[in-house]
Amino acid sequence: MSSVKIANIIKRLPQPVCTQFTISMITSSIYYVFDDTRIDTLADELSNNDAVYALCVVDESMQVKGVIVRKDLFDILGRRFGRELYYNRTVVELAQQVTVFYYNMHVFECSRLIRQDLERGIQNHYALVDENGCFKGLFSTKDMLIFLSRLTQIDIEHAKSVINRLLKKEFALKTKRLSIAIKNEMVQDIGGDSYFVIPLKTKNQIILGVCDVAGKGISASMITAIISGMVTTYDFENNPLESFLLKLNNYIYSTFEGEKFVTACFMIIDEESSLLLLYDFGHSMTYLYRDNVFKLSLKEMHVPMGIQRIDTVQSGKFKLEPGDCIYILTDGCIEQRDHNCKDYGIQRFNKIFVNNYSDDLMKTLNAIMMDIKIFRGSYPQQDDMTVACIRYE
């Protein structure tokens, strides 16, 4: 008879019907016990039921009185004279206080309310109740962290898919007088480097841009997607590049209120006149290879995009000669470290570029990326890397 009685002590709710993104989604325990249950009796049943890690203590009307955590209960009973001290007591005397949440609360709102527990790594349990205050289940900080982690992984995979569709790892274009090659290697296929090349057929010009969003991860890829969207929808054939740069800068500033910024370099190359117009927004990593390597600097360089609202755009003019090669890189190339925490550096970059320079620009870029990989060895790639090369024939 006693075994039958023990088997009925721990109760179980019906499996809850969960609404998407409510806190009931992460319910990990629907077990409960009434508050007048003896502690030793509960311990006996828990000993024969490894599936129950935590259960709620309720009264006859299913109102929450506390929570019993399996490990904590056995820790107490395992102490010297623990069973003797609690032998005739009821579970409500050992029940831990528990914070209660409405079971249809949005999971993100709940995560905000328990943020301190999540940040401290505290393993707490929380009770869910319906509109009448009746027990509907338990969840823990661990359940919340697992849910948020899975959600983040899903978001990252979606972001990867978007970025991979928007940005090719390699790009090559040859026109009458220009050869262009671009290589892009992102950290974990998600990041903030981007580039675009737009031929203006009616003007016999090429527009090229290289952007580097500050930071990494989903927020950086979000700005990358914004840039790509604005580039795709802007009519460069009938509108000046300066107008686009103003719109892009001011949109990033108004959207992120100066909290995010983008270093960027844009240029227009006129194939007939050999004139290059350069616009630099805090990037300053544009070089000219003409028998030797020269850094292209502007008298007036803009601050990175998104830091402040601007009303005008300044540019610098350069006259290209046949055989000139312009290359732009992002800081991920030269700031990559090896196992000794030594930076790859611009001097090594320029040396490898010159030593491997050939008519096949993509071959040159592959040699550079391979040398960076050899340099870092087992040290992980730290930042996105992009190199764009343009040769004027």
**pLDDT tens profile 343-371:** 999 999 999 999 999 999 999 999 999 99
Domain boundaries, the chain: 2-149, 167-392
The band of 86, judged by pLDDT with boundaries at 50, 70 and 90, is confident
Residue 6 pLDDT greater than 50, yes or no: no
Q: What is the 3-state secondary structure (H, E, C) of the chain?
A: CHHHHHHCCCEECCCCCCCCCEHHHHCCECEEEECCCEHHHHHHHHHCCCCCCEEEEECCCCEEEEEEEHHHHHHHHCCCCHHHHHCCCEHHHCCECCEEEECCCEHHHHHHHCHHHHHHCCCCEEEEECCCCEEEEEEEHHHHHHHHHHHHHHHHHHHHHHHHHHCCCEEEEECCCEEEEEEEECHHHCCCEEEEEEEECCCCEEEEEEEEECCCHHHHHHHHHHHHHHHHHCCCCCCCHHHHHHHHHHHHHHHHCCCCCEEEEEEEEECCCCEEEEEEEECCCEEEEECEEEECCCCCCECCECCCCCCCCCCEEEECCCCCEEEEECHHHHCCECCCCCECCHHHHHHHHHHCCCCCHHHHHHHHHHHHHHHHCCCCCCCCEEEEEEEEC
Write the class of the CATH domain 2-149: alpha beta
Range in 213-217, 248-252, 344-348 the model is least confident about: 213-217
Does the predicted model carry a pTM greater than 0.85?
Answer: no
Range in 73-82, 163-172, 220-229, 379-388 the model is least confident about: 73-82
Confirm or reject CATH 3.60.40.10 for domain 167-392, answering yes or no: yes
| pLDDT at residue 1 in the model | 31
Residue 2 pLDDT greater than 70, yes or no: no
Range in 133-142, 190-199, 322-331, 354-363 the model is least confident about: 190-199
The band of 145, judged by pLDDT with boundaries at 50, 70 and 90, is very high
The band of 321, judged by pLDDT with boundaries at 50, 70 and 90, is very high
| pLDDT at residue 363 in the model | 97
